[in-house]
Structure 1
Amino acid sequence: MKLKRLTIYGFGHFHDRTFDLTDGLNFLVGPNEAGKSTLTQFITAILFGFPTKKHPELRYEPLDGSRFGGEMQFVQADVTYTVTRTAGPHGGKVTLHNDTTDLALPANNLAGLLAPVDQQLFTSVYAINEPRLGQVFAASKQELIDRLRHVGAVGSDFWLTQAHQLDQQADSRYKPQGRNPILNQQLQAHRELTDKLAKADAAYGTYWQLLQEQQDLRQQQAQTQDQLAQQRQVTAQLTQQAASWPAFAEWQRLGQLADQPVPSGFSADDATQLEQLRGQVTATEKALTADQQRVQDLQQTAQLPPLFQEYLPVAAQVDPLLTQLPAVQQAAQMQQQLAAQQRDLQQRSTALETQYAVGGQMPRPFSLATLQQVKDLQERLTAANQKRRRIQQHLNQLNERYQQQQPTRQQQRNPLADKQLIWLAVGLVVLVGSLLLPGTLFKLVGALCGVAVGYYGVFQVDSSTPASRELEDLTADIRDNQAQLREGGHLVDDLTTQLDVIGEAHGLGNVPLAQWSAAQTAIAEWERLSRQMEEQGAQLAKAKQTIAEFLTAVGQVLPSLATSDFATVATQLADLQARQQASQTQSGELASLTERLRTDQRAADEASHALAIFLSTRNLRSVAAFYDRYQTQRERQNQAQQRTTLAQQIGPANLAALQQVADQASLTQSVQQAQTQQAQLQQTLDQTTTRLATLAGQLAHLTASGTQATLRQRLANLETQMVATTQEWLVQRLTSQWISATLAAASGDRLPQIVAQASKLYGKLTENRYTEIELTATTLRVRRADGAWRNVGQLSRGTAEQLDLAVKLAFAIVMQQQVAMPLLIDDGFVNFDADRRQAAYALLAEISQTVQIIFLTADTAVERLNTGNLIRLND
């Protein structure tokens, strides 16, 4: 599995964020609290589900209230998938989509794609951080073996659980130092009963109760014997069917072969016809060889050129090639022209790529809708910038007017305002003086005059000046223009952001906006050049193929020209054609032999053609293939006879019964069930018989020692239970050991590979200070360069973490064929010194050729490594 893209809707402090990953080494760099651990938990959650709300610290629900979840695009087995997980029950709502075939898949298919990796294995091996590397101090061989079994054996989780349950059940029955297990309690009870039996006095039981029990048991014994006889018949039939299963499987296999269609044309008559055709081919080839030998003798006598001597025996095959020579020469001229044009187109394409390509990738062209959108955004951006400039100019003018019209102290004073207190004082004096006047009417008129004077002084006299009022208007205009300027800035930022998003989406992030139009023209020109190169490449390949096929055909009939180039071959064939035309006027035996040679060649070709038609009508390439088919048909007849014999051997009844069985496993299970039921009936019968024997002894000795007989019976029953408990304990313990041995056989061969690989990686991490890793029964230990061994507890924390890192990397490399998972490393090298940290980076770059690595770190030194895909989390 290789991760391609992470899209976060809302997870922790991330929202609406996308990360594009490459197949090899990916560095995600950011300081503390940049979200490195959040990304690790995001990948784990998308693959295996969100933790429950009982663990809110692991859920990373979005802090801004955005939609919880995200999606992940990954590639597995050359197929691209997209898995989306959002908030919902049972680990979140999951959707799975096959991007290669554009099909929606059931959500439960995700577990099948991840199998056999589950969340526990992923977090313990593939999700690496500093605390988990520290767990190497408690590592053991059994933990690594369990990881291997989990991946190396299909269904191992179930069997490991079964083995663990069997061990627990066995421990619940017996432990050497235990008290609560059943067998331990039975042993204690056995000792107590033995002591009681030795000390017990004679006592009497109830004779008639024992006698009634004896009668009931005898009736039960008879019924059990009848059931056991019937069950034995059923078990015998099923056992016989199980024994016949190999023959039945062979009968089924032969039946499948018999159902396959048998091609016609492979009978004994066909074999006779084939031999006749082969005889004709042999005879014509012998005649042709004799005439060729005679022609060679005459040619040597006539002292003909070697090429012409070589031509004469194969003239019938060379003449068509001479006819093709002009067309092939024209193809050679076209090849030279196309090669020159191809070089010119490549130079022009390379120039465009040098100018616009980023990371070897040309920008993508705009669609018509995108082109119109960019045009509209540019026009709106231009208009917004122009409006901002006009507003800014107007604002500057207003500011200048404001500075020029700042009032002086004298202008700020209002004479009438200075006299407000005087007017108020005069009004008050008039009001008080009116109260001293005689007569109510005079007092009322005087009071009204005093109030009018005070009202005029307070409310009618305006304290402001024309200059102050103009400044207030300017201030209002300035504030209004500033608000418009801020609004225009927001609009410009929004339009710029939209253009930046379009540029990033089409690979134009490094191209200035003003050059986008020229870039689109260049992209169109580059695509046109690419198409022309493809078309001319196809024509050039066709011309090369024509020349190559012509040279091959010439080399087959004229071996002396097999290693010559086309120019030499064309010259030689032209000379040969001229000599051929000159030799047509010659007469005599050579001409006669040449004609007869051509006749022989035609006869040989016709015989070979007839043989080829005979084989092609049967879809064969050779005579040996015919005889293989012929032998296969004879084997089919033998298989049909064998199938009939097997059916008779199995018998009609068993054959009909076996045809109703799904597979051998179900038949074996039926046999085991029948045997188990028979064993249970037999056990019941044995218990009944044992009880009857016990009752007979009790009845015989009841009058003499009733209490002793009861204790003896209890002791006998206890011993029977102890035997049964011991048998169950042995079955459970042996079954658990068998499961462990089987799973170890299925995956144990990979353990030496992992240890050997880990030793190599550990040597590179520690600069060859440690050269070997040994996995003991309880822990890991390493050998130093001087030969001394060190346990994990004797290593420094950084060196121990490097050991755990080497083991986990080795595990991922060796298990790559079974489990192709990416490695997530979250600041795992914090305890490494500078040299070993650089060695670790070099090692990651090396293994990233086969394993995808996502390294999240706060170490900005990785930006200077010039390797891998670098992503800055704060960008």
Structure 2
Amino acid sequence: MELKKITIYGYGKLENLTFSIHSPIHVFYGENEAGKSTIMSFIHSILFGFPTKQQTELRYEPKLQHKYGGKLEIYFPKIGLATIERVKGKATGDVTVTLEDGRRGQEELLNELLAGIDKSLYQSIFSFNLHGLQNVQQLKGEELGRFLFSTGAVGSDRLLKAENELQKELDLRYKPSGKKPVVNEKLQDLRDKHGQLKVAEKDNNQYVQLLAKKRELEKERQLTEAELKQEEHEIRYLEEWIKIKEIALEKDILEEKLAAFKELNFPQNGLTRWGALKEKMLSVEAELRYLEAKALEIEQEMTSLSIQEELIKSEKDIILAVEKFPVYEQLQNRQNQVQNQLKSIEEEIDSLKSNLPIEEEILLKESNTSIFLKEQCAQAASKQRRLKEQKEELDERLKDEQTTLELLEETVKEYKQKLLPKDERIRLEEHVKSDNQVRWNKEKADLLLREIKQLEEQVKVEEKRIKQNTMITSVLSTFLLLVGAGALFFEQWFLTLISFAISIVYFLVFLSGRKLAKNEIRKKKKRIVLIKEERAQLLAIMEKGQGISPYEEQKLEDDTKCREKFTQLQFKLEQQNESYERVLQGFEKWEADFLSHQKLLRQLANELRIPYELATQQIYDAFLLIEEWKAKDRESNSIYQELEEIQQEREQIISKIIHLFEKFIGMEKETIANMCYRLKTALTEEKKKKDRIETLQRKQDDLSEHMEKYQTEYNRYAEEKTALFSIAGVKEEEAFLEKAALEKERDTYKERLSTIDVQLDIAYISKEQIPLYKKILDPERQLDEKQTKIERLASRLKELVEEAAAINFTLSRIESGGTYTDLLHTFKQFQSEFKEDVREWAKFAVAKQLLAKTVEQYKQKQLPAMLQKAEENLAFLTEGKYIRILPKEEGAGFLVESHQHVFYEAKELSQGTTEQLYLSIRIALAQTFYKSFWFPFIIDDSFVNFDEKRTEKVIQLLKKCEQNQLIFFTCHRHLLKHFPDNSLHVLPAEERETSL
């Protein structure tokens, strides 16, 4: 929310005032008693109600008029502009809320706008004043850490106060080693009464006998109850046997029937096994007949095939000869290509000879064309080009540097003539220094005058207060003396003594306070005299001061600029001279490099066997031509050798193919290509025949193997059949099937017996107990007998209870008839009072434990988010000197980590740092837990104890909270520089109507 307008009808000394606020940061500035705290209290009162008469806060009721209250105009982001008006009425005043859409309401609507925030919570989080920091200054030791932790939890010291109050209440009631607390005293009294009771009990013989009788009856009652439980247990077993008796007898019958099948031998799953075995035997017989027919067909086909073995044995030679026919064609093509290549190379050699001006070819072949020399020639050619480019660049640079140097020399000469003489400049500088001193003295004199006025005002206030206290003391002393005299008249000596004592003590306190106040007034008056003297001295110095004329000030400023320019030009001139010298040195270096390069070119010409003139012009091109000439000559020799090798290889291929054709085909005349084709075709046909015979042979072997396999399998099945029938004791299939029917009947009996076993397993009676219950001839009659016995035991148990009750009554009568009764009554009374006090102590102990658990849960879940923001705030306020805030592992309190990674407790920090920590935590609460409540920060001179740098840091931090409006009250003018001018409102001593 954002405060837009404040209208005061009547509040304290403020009447009929209006303040309009148009910025997110607003400052109320005024001297002491200008009404700053009153305006701050007015805002709180309109929002949360006027303080009641029972509260300690000031109500600020007007003295000069009856209209009490005012209104605030506040902008809420979700609702719009709302007007909140509160005037005198009930205890907290009558409030009216009017929204922008016309809706009106009272306290309920206001509470909705404020999102349930009450005055205490608002002042704990968003409202600051000097008292908050003064509380931090007054705390010591561990209490300081707990106070800061309480601030981090709820924004104020309420948590700390609650913890202290609970501990105080606990200590008033009980201390482990204490004697005076109530619980400690009553515990000791209870122990004493208990001892007396035990002594009286021993003297009462009848009481002891009755107690012994009571114990015997109790023992018999326990035995009777145990026997009763046993009988009930046996009845349950009898009832269960009656239920399962029939199936238990059926089980015996089934076991007898199964015993008749004991001699029956039949294989397990015999019928199923015989069916599967019979099917397999029939299948194997069919496969054997099929394989015998297939073997006969293969034998007939193999007899009809015949092959030429000699041709197949020469397969490798034929394939090798035929496969070389493509090589023969490639060799023919290659011969034509090489001949064309040789012709081209010879033409290139003739062209190279024409480009080199060398007459003797033999010298050229002796020239050095190594890789090392080639690199030297390339580097020499490159350096030749660089030397030429360097020469052109040096000529251009020399011309430019010379021109620039001449221009700078002329400019330096001009600026030197413009400079003021040295004496004239010294005189002007003295005038400027004197003028600055006069201005400073004037500002200081104004500050001293304001301080004098403040001190004089404070002296007037103190003198006025002394007069008021004197009058009050006189009236009160007179009243007390009259009370004492009246008491003396009526002989009320104690009241007389008290009245005179209070009167004397109050008068002494008044004299002491008056003396201190007068001493303070004398100090302030002395301070005023000293300040006036200092101001008079400053004014006298100001009158003697001599200022400087605008013309002289401008003249001095121009000369200063001219001197700066002259200094820069001198520096540039020195740099230009150095550049010119560097160019001349470059020319000398170039000449030395040029002579060295010419010597190298002569050496390279001798190595290549070329004229020196050619080397100076095209050394690298000449090397490349010579290198290419020698390469072409070597290539030509290589081609001649290749032609001879091709001719020899062609003749070998042709002779081999003709020999094989004449051996296996005939002496017919054919081309080389047809010979290869016919040889290859004949070889393929013979191989096909051979492959077919081999395939048939493999099939024949496979058939034999399969026939042997199936015959073995059939034999195995026959053996299994014999073994299966042998187990059943038969030889034919019909007898085997008859025994299978008997086996099925036996399985039916087994299945029913298994079902009965399951039912007996879940019965209450175990299988081991069933034979015992089978011996019972008439279980129903035995069940009736057990029930009769139970009734008899129950009757006896009732008699024992009645007899014990009679004994207890007799004991009670004995206890109420003498000393033992009185002691027991007293003991019970003390015991009851002690329990009540313990319950009272336990309530506070539980409350403290719940508070501790709440604090621990807060430390683990909610505190880290707040502490992270508080650490950022503290690091900003302390400029990185303190970087982390950690909660203590046990209890309340914080540890603060410095940038040197040293941990301090709150009590170990300086007072200023502790205050910065307190502010960091409170602002962090608004930034984290209460960030959704966009309430304004209202601050009343809370940072007057900070130095200028710390104050600036705090204000910068508050400005970062952009979602919260900042309302700042101050009486210190030096703080105004931290705020924009359009956000300032000055409060005069007397103000009736104003608007900003």
Q: Quick check: TM above 0.5?
A: no
- Shorter-chain TM-score tier: 0.3 to 0.5
State the TM-score, normalized to the length of structure 1: 0.38
State the TM-score, normalized to the length of structure 2: 0.34
